[in-house]
């Protein structure tokens, strides 16, 4: 009998067919796409539940919030990240930088 779900490193169960589809997608699109998707999944875990639900509905073309909300969210996050970076002590850069 085939497994319907399997536990992956993310810590939650996903349908095996979805995992296989994702692996095949990444094989065709390359490592950059795979890293972007992995990063998105990491962030998804830290997004408030209400925002996750709104994003799912938006993806299904059933928006709950006006389109300007997403632009405002982007701008607010961008400003917050910039303020965080400016408030951090400057560290010396080593020979390697991570991209990401």
Tell me the whole-structure pTM to 2 decimals: 0.56
From first to last of its 100 residues, the chain has per-residue pLDDT tens of 556 666 556 566 778 887 888 788 878 877 787 788 888 888 998 999 999 999 999 988 899 999 899 999 999 999 999 999 999 887 655 555 555 4
- By the 8 A CB rule, do 41 and 10 touch? yes
């Amino acid at each position: 009998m085939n497994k319907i779900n399997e536990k992956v490193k993310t810590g939650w169960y996903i349908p095996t067919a979805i995992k296989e589809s994702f692996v095949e997608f990444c094989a065709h699109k390359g490592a950059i796409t795979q890293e972007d998707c992995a990063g998105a999944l990491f962030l998804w875990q830290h997004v408030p539940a209400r925002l996750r639900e709104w994003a799912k509905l938006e993806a299904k073309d059933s928006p709950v919030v006006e389109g300007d909300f997403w632009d405002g969210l982007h701008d607010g996050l961008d400003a917050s990240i910039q303020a965080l970076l400016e408030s951090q002590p400057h560290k010396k850069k080593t020979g390697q930088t991570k991209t990401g």
